[in-house]
Amino acid sequence: MDAISVIRTKRDRGELSDEQIDWVIDAYTHGEVADEQMSALAMAILLNGMNRREIARWTAAMIASGERMDFSSLSRPTADKHSTGGVGDKITLPLAPLVAACGAAVPQLSGRGLGHTGGTLDKLESIPGWRALLSNEEMLNVLDTTGAVICAAGDGLAPADKKLYALRDVTGTVEAIPLIASSIMSKKIAEGTGSLVLDVKVGTGAFMKTIEDARELASTMVGLGTDHGVKTVALLTDMSTPLGLTAGNALEVRESVEVLAGGGPSDVVELTLALAREMLDAAGVRDVDPAKALADGSAMDVWRRMIAAQGGDPDAELPVAREQHVIKAGASGVLTRLDAYGIGVAAWRLGAGRARKEDPVQAGAGVELHAKPGDTVTEGQPLLTLHTDTPERFEYALESIEGSYDIGATGTAFTGSPVVLERIA
Ligand code: URA
C-alpha cells in the first residue's frame, strides 16, 4: 500500500477500501505518511466526500489508533454531551453537575477554544487553581466521587485525530462533514461513554451555517455512535445569536454559576434543561426533574465538589478585565439582530480566544450583552460592554461588531428563533 494510490482513489472520486483506510490512518499516526500527503487526502475527502461505510471505517481506524477508556467500574450509567461549538456556549459548565446531581455519571472530555468559538477548558481555567490535565486514574476518581468531571482528553485517546485535526486546521480542510463527524465521534467512542447527546449548532456563529448541513452532520454522528453501541441523540440548536448574556472565559463562568444558583438567562436555562433531559433519558435515568436539581441547590453542590476535586476554589473571586468599553444604543426601538459571529470574533480579538494553539488567553476578556434580540432598547442605553486587559484591542474588536446588530423602529414585530430547532435520534 502507498499513500499516492490512496490519494488518487479519492481524488478520482473512488471509494476507499477498508484496507486503504486502516493503512493510511495507521501509517499517518506513525509518521510513515507525510503531512503533505495526508492534507492532499483530506482535501480530496472534503471535495469528493465519503459514503457511510467509509466514514464508519475511518472512525473505527481513528479509535484503534489509541487507547479506549472503560467506565464499567462505576455504579451509575454514563452520559456525555458534545457541542459542535458556538458563541457564549457555556452549557457544559452547569450541565455536567446538573446531570450528575440527577443520578448519571458525566465524563466530559473538553477542548480549548480556537478561532471565534470558546473552549470549555479555557473558561474553567479562569477559576483560580483549577486543573484541566488529569491522569486517567484521577479522572475516574473525580468522576466516581463527585459524579462529574470536565477535563482535557489524554494524549492516548484517538492520537490519529489529534494529528489530523491540527493538520486540517492549517490546510482549509476543517469543514468536511465526514471528517468532522469521524473526528468528534472517534474521541467520544474511545472515551467509553454509554450514551451521548450531541448539540449541533446552526447559524452564523456555528460551523454549520444551514439546517441542511447540520442535519447531515447530526445524522452521520448519530449513526456512528449507534453502530458502536453508544446510545446517541442530537439536538440541532440555534447559534444565530450568542447564548446567554456573556461571551468570554470568566464572564461565562459567572453566568454558569448564576444558572446553578437557580437564575441565569432564560435561553441558557432552557438549553441546559433540554440537554439534561436527553442525557438522563439516554442513560436510562427516569423520573427525575433536572429543573428541581437547579432549584434546590443539588446541582450547585456537585459543581462545588467537582471544581474543588480538580484543585479549584469555588469561592474564589473570578478575574475581571482591567478595562471596559461600553457600546450604547444609537436609537430607541427593538433589537432585531445581534449576530453570534460578530460577537464571537470581538470576544476573541479582546483576548478571550487564541489565534494559534499555543497562545495564552485572558481570563477576564470578552463581551457582555445588555440586550437580546426582541428586547426594547432606549437610545443611549448600554448595549454591549467589551472587556480586556489590553485596551489597544478595543478598536480591532469594534470593527467586528460594526454591522453585527440592527435596531428596528419601536413596535417592530419580532419573531425569534427557538433555542432547540430539531431532534435527531
Ligand atoms: N471538533 C472536533 O473535535 N473535530 C472537528 O473536526 C471539528 C470540531
pTM exceeds cut of 0.80? yes
Choosing from 114, 117, 180 the residue with most ligand 1 atoms within 8 A of its CB, the one to mutate for a pocket test is 180
Per-residue pLDDT of the chain (425 residues; tens, 9 = 90+): 999 999 999 999 999 999 999 999 999 999 999 999 999 999 999 999 999 999 999 999 999 999 999 898 999 999 999 999 999 999 999 999 999 999 999 999 998 876 788 899 999 999 999 999 999 899 999 999 999 999 998 888 999 998 998 889 888 898 899 999 999 999 999 999 999 999 999 999 998 999 999 999 999 999 999 999 999 999 999 999 999 999 999 999 999 999 999 999 999 999 999 999 999 999 999 999 999 999 999 999 999 999 999 999 999 999 999 999 999 999 999 999 999 999 999 999 999 998 776 788 999 999 999 999 999 999 999 999 999 999 999 999 999 999 999 999 998 999 989 999 999 99
CATH code for the structural domain at 323-408: 3.90.1170.30
Q: Is the CB of 183 under 6 A from ligand 1?
A: yes
Query: Cα(291) to centroid of ligand 1, in Å?
Result: 31
Q: Specify the amino acid at residue 263.
A: G
3-class SS of residue 197: strand
Question: CA 59 to CA 190: how far, in whole Å?
Answer: 10
Q: Is the CB of 184 under 6 A from ligand 1?
A: yes
Looking at the chain, the domain(s) classified CATH 3.90.1170.30 span 323-408
Cell numbers of 163, please? 494529528
ipTM: 0.96
Residue having the nearest C-alpha atom to atom 6 of ligand 1: 180
Q: Atom of ligand 1 at shortest distance to CA of 184?
A: 3
Can you give the three-state secondary structure of 124-172, one letter per residue? Answer: HCCCCCCCCCCCHHHHHHHHHHHCEEEEECCCCCCHHHHHHHHHHHCCC
Positions annotated as catalytic residues are 82, 161, 168, 183, 187
- Torsion, Cα 383 389 395 397, to 10 degrees, reads -60
- Among 3.40.1030.10, 3.90.950.10, 3.40.50.360, 3.10.310.30, name the CATH number for the domain at 79-155+168-309: 3.40.1030.10
Q: Is the CB of 59 under 6 A from ligand 1?
A: no
Question: CA 425 to CA 71: how far, in whole Å?
Answer: 24
- Among 3.40.50.150, 3.40.50.300, 1.20.970.10, 1.20.58.220, name the CATH number for the domain at 3-49: 1.20.970.10
Question: CA 9 to CA 317: how far, in whole Å?
Answer: 57
Residue having the nearest C-alpha atom to atom 5 of ligand 1: 180
Looking at the chain, the domain(s) classified CATH 1.20.970.10 span 3-49
- Torsion, Cα 11 16 22 28, to 10 degrees, reads 0
Looking at the chain, the domain(s) classified CATH 3.40.1030.10 span 79-155+168-309
